[in-house]
Amino acid sequence: MIQLALFLSLAALLFLALIVLAARSPRAEGGAQALVEARQALSHLQAELLPSDLVARVFAREDLEYVLAQPSHRAHEMFLAERKKIAILWVRGIRRQVINLTRFHLGAARHYSSLSFRIEAALALDFAFLLFVCRALQVLIHIRGPYSAFGMVDATASAATRISSISEQALAFMNPAQMSAVSGPTGSSGGALGMRS
Amino acid sequence: MTAVLLDSLIWWCGIALELLVLFRGLQKRLVARYPFFYVYTASVLFFSIPLYFLYFGRSASYPVWYWAQQFITLVTGYGVLLEIFRHVLSAWPGAERIARTVGMSAFVLVLTFSVFYPLIISKWSTAETIIEFERDLRTVQAVLLLAILGTISYYGLPIGRNMRGMIIGYGLYIGASLSALAIRSHAGPSSYLAWYRIQPLSFNIAALIWVITLWRYEPNPQPSARTRFEMDYESLAAKTRSMVGAMRSYLVRSARP
């Protein structure tokens, strides 16, 4: 019986994969333009979403403490509602950038014959984990507010220093000459993702 | 009487569709572009006509011919997978490497399972060996196809109409055959009718898909030369990982009290 279930599950999985393939858009995914847009999105991420002062401001407890010290209950509610909205938009923006980074990596990696299965598997897990964390944060903020995501994960090393050095490295993904060669005359449309949703 | 008519209808529809696939392949010179696929189709057709007369003539040699056809088309069927590798994956060396690694690992796992599982189960009937052998080979094909489909989907590889039709048609046939063989192997001769009808019916549907999608040549989209950056993979992977790490740090930081 177990054996039968295994074979039937495999057949069902195959049918499901075929349905996904049939439903897929026929356009060529991950072309040059997509890579350029992903790269631009990463720039926006570094410049607009990840600066440490922005993150600190979005989740600043001092703001909460200040508002809570005020006597107006309505002001408390308004502040929390607004801050919740901003926090959710911020996480949503990060999530979208993670997806763009994934596309960027996959779009480039598929060209390389020296690609490592081990590294690709680790990266796939990293991406999946990040997307999961983003989704979990979104849910948590939505249910319990922007200041309630305490202790979800342990603190890590100093992010601000790290991101600045990584940003510099990340710019080497494509140099300006390569970017303009790839984007061509229509390549300046931009993939700005920012905080809009 | 109705069952005989139904069987006959399924059989002749299949032969007509196979002939049409081959005719269009020759007419549009697709045979030269997808030789392994057309060898497979021709091998199916080669056995279909004599098998029809043997089956309805109730010839004693029918089972021998039937299993010969099953075995040969199983082998030539791997040519369809080869076409997918040649036309869809070979243009993307990284993705091809992943598909090969996953496919081969799965292949070894399935073979190991097929060899060792019968040794540990108590019930073992030699009469069922041929069916189980075919089922196991179909399983290997299904696993390889799944590895290919997973890679195509994960890396977002572009896929043309010809290859899409080839994959969907063949995948449908493999999935249906695997289900029918697994049920037959498990339930025994009581599932005889289901077993004999599902496979030819699913093949006819596959052949219909091939007639439509291989009506004319539509090449598989190739990567643009402009997307090939002067960048080594290790550097790309290392930088992506750093970026992922940084993003995680920020998320963690945002969640910190």
- What is the distance between the alpha carbons of residues B252 and A133, in angstroms, rounded to a whole number? 9
A:B CB pairs within 8 Å = 246
* Whole-number average pLDDT of chain B: 81
Quick check: is A101 in a domain? yes
Q: pLDDT for A128-151, tens place per residue?
A: 887 887 788 888 888 887 776 644
Q: By the 8 A CB rule, do A40 and B239 touch?
A: no
* Chain A nearest C-alpha distance from B180 (Å): 9
Nearest CB to A169: which of B98, B164, B239? B239
* Chain A nearest C-alpha distance from B92 (Å): 5
Quick check: is A114 in a domain? yes
DSSP string, B32-47: HHSHHHHHHHHHHHHH
- What is the distance between the alpha carbons of residues B178 and A177, in angstroms, rounded to a whole number? 52
Nearest CB to A110: which of B95, B183, B239? B95
Q: Phi/psi of residue B229, each to 5°? A: -85, 155
Structure ipTM: 0.79
- Residue B250: pLDDT band (50, 70, 90) is low
Range of the domain at A113: 84-182
Chain-chain contact of A159 with B246 (C-beta, under 8 angstroms): yes
Number of domains present in the structure of chain A: 1
Reading the block at residue B62, the tokens are 């029918």
Question: Quick one: closest CA in B to A92, which residue?
Answer: B251
Closest CA to A133 of B253, B138, B85, B132: B253
Chain-chain contact of B94 with A109 (C-beta, under 8 angstroms): yes
Could you give all domains of chain B from N- to C-terminal order, each with its CATH number?
2-221 (1.20.1070)
Model pLDDT, residue B112: 74
Model pLDDT, residue B255: 56
Closest CA to B161 of B221, B222, B204: B221
Quick check: is A150 in a domain? yes
CA gyration radius, chain B? 22
Reading the block at residue B141, the tokens are 């094909």
Question: Quick one: closest CA in A to B176, which residue?
Answer: A11
CB within 8 Å of B117: residues ≥ 6 apart: A3
Chain A contact set for B241 (CB, 8 A): 119, 122-123, 126
Question: Quick one: closest CA in B to A160, which residue?
Answer: B250
- Contacts for A162-170 with beta carbons within 8 Å, 24 or more apart? A162/B245, A162/B246, A162/B249, A163/A46, A163/A50, A163/A52, A163/B246, A163/B249, A163/B250, A166/B239, A166/B242, A166/B243, A166/B245, A166/B246, A167/A46, A169/B239, A169/B242, A170/A42, A170/A46, A170/B239, A170/B242, A170/B243
Q: Is the pLDDT of residue A177 over 80?
A: no
Question: Quick one: closest CA in A to B226, which residue?
Answer: A182
- What is the distance between the alpha carbons of residues A61 and A119, in angstroms, rounded to a whole number? 38
Q: By the 8 A CB rule, do B144 and A12 touch?
A: no
Quick check: is A192 in a domain? no
Nearest CB to B256: which of A109, A126, A155? A155
Model pLDDT, residue A96: 80
- What is the distance between the alpha carbons of residues B72 and B65, in angstroms, rounded to a whole number? 10
Chain A contact set for B96 (CB, 8 A): 113
Quick check: is A173 in a domain? yes
Most trustworthy range by pLDDT among A78-87, B34-43, B121-130: B34-43
Nearest CB to B250: which of A108, A114, A159? A159
- What is the distance between the alpha carbons of residues B257 and A84, in angstroms, rounded to a whole number? 15
* Lowest-confidence pick of A41-50, A115-124, B74-83, B194-203: A41-50
Q: pLDDT for B82-108, tens place per residue?
A: 888 888 888 888 777 887 787 777 777
Question: Quick one: closest CA in B to A5, which residue?
Answer: B182
Quick check: is A1 in a domain? no
Model pLDDT, residue B119: 65
- What is the distance between the alpha carbons of residues A50 and A90, in angstroms, rounded to a whole number? 9
Q: By the 8 A CB rule, do B187 and A56 touch?
A: no
Nearest CB to A108: which of B150, B153, B236? B236
